[in-house]
Amino acid sequence: MRVLGVDPGLTRCGIGVVDGVAGRPLRMLGVGVIRTPADSPVAERLVLIEQGMEQWLDEHRPEYVAVERVFSQHNVRTVMGTAQASAVAMLCAARRGLPVALHTPSEVKAAVTGSGRADKAQVGAMVTRLLRLAAPPKPADAADALALAICHIWRAPATNRLQQAVAAHRAPPVRVPRGTA
Amino acid sequence: MRVLGVDPGLTRCGIGVVDGVAGRPLRMLGVGVIRTPADSPVAERLVLIEQGMEQWLDEHRPEYVAVERVFSQHNVRTVMGTAQASAVAMLCAARRGLPVALHTPSEVKAAVTGSGRADKAQVGAMVTRLLRLAAPPKPADAADALALAICHIWRAPATNRLQQAVAAHRAPPVRVPRGTA
């Protein structure tokens, strides 16, 4: 599966594309950052993020998009911008019909490092090792976007089993008695 | 000037279009609400808001879009959705090249009722009177969107004067001495 991870932000929106399946070596297809000028009006910055997202989606044709779930316990001003940037990322993916998954920062850290409280350096080091890179991707937003994509690939089997269980619970399979068909 | 006001929200996004200039009677061209199902994934709800915005912009061709400025002192969960819905509204306007203005709720209330602390009923009553409607627009999100558009029309002359003053201060006009041209 090919996943495009997004670490949303107005000033720097991290993007990372990873290909692979759980339990097999992963491959990085691309990493980068969409930047917008801090002194531009928010509306124009959102247009730049949309244009950047479209380029990444066109170039890498991911099957899934994983976006960091935004919480509001952080700095109030930053969170609003992060929520707005994440909205544009989700919009670009969903209107192409791509499934959008949201993962919390601690889910991502736990998936990649084994600890939900890992720091940026640990996440960067594990991303570097898992993708067999020569050096940690910079800036941190780019490494976080790769971590999101890896998290999604590794969680997908569990998520799929959960969704199947929920679906099975909602609509039990119709059993056709033997010999009637 | 023709202004499309947006009271952003994921569940109900109020839209109101008003035509007029400060100091003259105003005219309502349209009012409504873009609704999205609360049980749908956020990404899909943002696509529905985009589609709704595009329809309103296509139909009414406003020259300005005024969006309520989102603050985070309210309910945390609601604010994230409001920020995301406002991002889509701003994006749709800005990528058409339309100027996007943000007004705070108290600016809107003060413009329409004379008090920044007016309640929903007062805002609805003043919108009804100013636009010479038979009854207050419902739901409240629709009335708020009209109030935003009215606020923008009435504040525009002051805003323009301010912008001109700032521009003049930044780049003083070049004076060509007489007789040299």
SS3 A131: coil
User: Tokens representing A114?
Assistant: 């084994």
Q: How far are the Cα atoms of A147, B6, B55, B86, B105 from residue B100, in angstroms, in the given order?
A: 35, 11, 17, 11, 16
Which tokens is B75 given? 């309910």
Q: How far is B148 from B151, CA to CA, in rounded Å?
A: 5
Cβ-contact A156, A68 below 8 angstroms: no
Nearest CA distance, A177 vs chain B (angstrom): 36
Q: B95: exposed, middle or buried (C-beta count within 10 Å: 0-12, 13-18, 19+)?
A: middle
Could you tell me the fold of the domain covering A2-169? Nucleotidyltransferase; domain 5 (3.30.420)
d(CA A47, CA B96): 10
Whether A91 sits inside 8 A of B50 (CB atoms) is yes
Q: pLDDT tens-digit profile of A126-162?
A: 999 999 999 999 999 999 999 999 999 998 767 666 6
Q: In this predicted model, what pLDDT tens digit does every residue of A85-110 receive, in sequence order?
A: 999 999 999 999 999 999 999 999 99
Per the CB < 8 Å rule, is B91 touching A50?
Answer: yes
Mean pLDDT in residue range A34-53: 97
Tell me the average pLDDT across B25-34: 97
Considering only the beta carbons, identify the residue of B41, B50, B80 that sits closest to A72: B80
Q: What does the pLDDT average to over A30-44?
A: 97
**Cβ-based burial of A75 (10 A; exposed 0-12, middle 13-18, buried ≥19):** exposed
Whether A48 has its CB under 8 Å from any CB of chain B: the answer is no
CATH superfamily of B2-170: Ribonuclease H-like superfamily/Ribonuclease H (3.30.420.10)
Residue-level pLDDT at A165: 72
Which of A27-36, A76-85, A110-119 has the highest mean predicted lDDT (pLDDT)? A27-36
| Identified catalytic residue from A19, A54, A59, A68 | A68
Give pLDDT, residue B103. Answer: 96
Q: How far is CA A13 from CA A37, A77, A104, B35, B60, in A?
A: 12, 16, 16, 29, 33
